[in-house]
Amino acid sequence: MFKQLTRLANEADGRFASPSELKFLKDYLETVETRMSAYSKVRDAETTITEELGATLQAQSPYIFQKGKQDHSAVCQRDRQHVLRISATSMLFGDLDSLREGFLLWYRTIINAFRDQKASQATYKVLPNIVNAHLTPEEAKLMQPALELDKSILGE
């Protein structure tokens, strides 16, 4: 959203923006209440969502958060919360570019460095279903692009 507004301001400098140039803004404003509602629900259910996700993953693979004899469940819980927060914010502002470029590509490097691809794949495959269970269909539709982007970048 912010990149689009900046681009429009630069391109329309000294003239009025055309209706086609303003379409993205109109589309966003038509969904702002639903976006705010979805954001609030995800924020309020953050702990429930991430704990349910952790329990689901451990039920599928009991040692998914272990490296050798060390249990990294707490670190993984923190990381899941961070991804969820940033994804919800991306949905709220309609800004998948910042999610992709500002966080997910960096975080994928961290996942690869710690060789956590298996846990990451499982996490971002399951996350959309758990999040969507807390949202209305309209809210889930708005949240889905961010969750799919998480899955495509972190779940490879």
> What was the pLDDT predicted at 48?
97
Are 77 and 51 within 8 A, CB to CB?
A: yes
Six-digit token string for 12 = 């329309």
In this predicted model, what pLDDT tens digit does every residue of 63-86 receive, in sequence order?
999 988 999 999 999 999 999 999
Q: Residues 51, 57, 90, 45: what is their CA dihedral angle, to the nearest 10 degrees? A: -20
> What was the pLDDT predicted at 82?
96
**Domain 37-154 = CATH 3.40.1180.10:** no
pTM strictly above 0.85: yes
What proportions of the chain, in percent to the nearest 5, are helix, strand and coil?
Answer: 80, 5, 20
Sole residue written with tokens 């958060």: 65
> What was the pLDDT predicted at 3?
84
> What was the pLDDT predicted at 25?
93
> What was the pLDDT predicted at 67?
87
Could you say which residues of the chain have pLDDT below 50? none
Q: What do you get for the CA distance between the two ends of the chain, in Å?
A: 27
Q: What is the DSSP letter of 67?
A: E
Domain limits, the chain: 37-154
**Position 94: which residue type?**
G
